[in-house]
Structure formats: C-alpha cells, structure tokens
Amino acid sequence: MRFRAAALLLAILPGAAGAISLDLPASASMQTEELRPADSFALPVGAFAEGVIPTQNVEGDVSFRTWRIDSPGLTTLQILSPLRQQLSREGFETLFECRSDQCGGFDFRFGTEVVPAPAMFVDLADFRFLSARHKTGSGPEYIALMISRSARAGFLQVVQVGSAPAPARPAELPPPAEAPVSFAGSKTAALADLAEVGRVVLGDLTFASGSADLDDTVFASLKALASLLADNQSWQIALVGHTDATGSADANLLISQRRAEAVKERLVMSYETDGSRIEAAGAGYLAPIASNLTQEGRAENRRVEVVLLAAE
C-alpha cells in the first residue's frame, strides 16, 4: 500500500540544530508526546535471549511520541519500510531490526519501554522494532521504532535520544500533571463527557484480584454506555482492561483482556449492543491510576476503561 505523505517534523534535540523529517500516512494522528531532558534510555540492540534483552544505555534528551494510523489494510511492514528508507537517507545506520517472533515476542515487548495502551497498542503476534544510530559532529543520535496494529489501525512509537543536553527551558516543558501519557482525571470523568475527554473509567465495575468475572449486578455505567452507543450509531469504542500488580505480567495481561471481553459480552447480551462496534483489549498492570502498595489503590487499578475510537 502506498504512503500518502504527511511530513511530520520530529525534533531529536529540542535545543539542537538537527531534526528528522519523517513522512507518515495522511491518516496518522499523534496520540502522546513526552519529553525527558538530560535522561537515559535502554536502547534494544538485540533479541530477547537467555532471560535478557541486549541493550545500549544511551544518554541525552529523550522523547517518546506515539501515533495512530487509521488505515485498516496497512501492515506493520508497510508502515516500517518507508521510515527505514528515510532514516537511511538521513545517515542513520540500523543497529537492530526484528519482527515479533524474532524479537522474542512477549518477553521483548514487556522488556522494552512502551507507552501504555490505548495510546500505543502492541499485538504480541504482530509487531516490528528497529533501532538506529546517526553519528554527527556533536555526538551520536539514536532512534527506536515500535510498530504494531489492531484490527482497525496501525500504531507507531518513536523514541529519540540526542547526545547533547538541551538548554534549560522550564517554561516550555509540559507540567507533569498535564503530560499526555497520563490518565489523570479519566477515573472521575462522567460517561456523558466521553466525546470530549475520549476515555472514561467504568468506575462501578468490581473485580476481585485475579478474577475477570462480573456478577449479576445491573451496573449503571454499562446501562449508560449502552444508551450512548444506541444514540450515537457512528461511535466505535475500545474496552481496555487493567489489573493491579499482583502476579506475573503474563497472567495479568490475560486477565485484563478477559475483563474487557467480559464487559463487551455484558453489553452485547444484556443491552443488545452491536459487538462489531466494540474492541476489547488488555493492558495488564502497565497503566495504574493509583498506588499498588495499598489495598485501596489495587482495587482502583482493577478496572475497565472505555475509549472512544471514532465518532464520525
């Protein structure tokens, strides 16, 4: 599939002269951006083997950016290939490249820093990764691409690290409470505000630790969500399950997926909601909204969020 170019300027160094201009499909929309001045990043340079991912510790100004690409037929290779060519033209040399099974599957995915879903969705059976380096007069620059897709969209995470520290610009940095990757406020937002805020925690659902079962309670949030979907026939949503930090990453990912699926099933069976308009996904314990050190915090983290994907 051919790319329809929409040039997006990705500044590697906020205070340096160099920048990369990467072309993404016209349907690409930025989801999150996080800047970490004078930080370090464990850059993967090999596949998971013997219990570890080979990494190179690189230092400088670190940026994380994620995009959603609304092109249902676009494969992960079709997303990666033009970006790889552009990096080569810019003078970057590939340090490591792999696809899901070659990378190490689950172990590589969860051993690598990735922005939590729904901003960055990673299908464990269909993702690609590339790390590269560019040697400049002021020092090396690094980039890491993580690419995956869901049934309806592609997802791209770009991590960039520059060798030189940026000048102090505290006024230009986003306040921590407003960082795009934060879920702050979503747990208190009302379902009626879903179209405005984009995601809301279904706060009256309850799950025991290690369980994905919903009891026979008539949950007000599900009744309200079913009504919203009935009134807005163009809406497409994702239900994203989350867990507390009790247990292994593998087990929690499975439980969170089942929680999302349980909520979808309840909407379909009890309220005759069209299941084709609902995706169900799990994020495990990777996106907590409270401390996992207390019983109350763990209870808050065992949740399902509704995310508005389309409202045309």
Share of the chain above pLDDT 90, in %: 35
Task: Give pLDDT tens digits for 122-176.
Answer: 988 899 999 999 988 778 999 999 999 988 889 999 999 985 333 333 333 333 3
**CATH second-level architecture of 5-166?**
3-Layer(aba) Sandwich (3.40)
Separation of alpha carbons 112 and 108, rounded Å: 6
Q: Residues 39-91: pLDDT tens digits?
A: 999 999 999 998 999 999 999 999 999 999 987 778 999 999 999 999 998 89
Fold of 183-310: 60s Ribosomal Protein L30; Chain: A; (3.30.1330)
Tens-place pLDDT, residues 255-287: 889 889 889 988 988 888 998 999 999 988 888
b/e per residue, 81-105, with b = 16+ CB within 10 A? ebbbeebeebebeebbebbbeebbb
Domain boundaries, the chain: 5-166, 183-310
Long-range Cβ contact pairs of 198-203 (< 8 A, separation 24 or more): 198/307, 198/308, 199/118, 199/305, 199/306, 199/307, 199/308, 200/305, 200/306, 201/289, 201/303, 201/304, 201/305, 202/263, 202/303, 202/304, 202/305, 202/306, 203/303
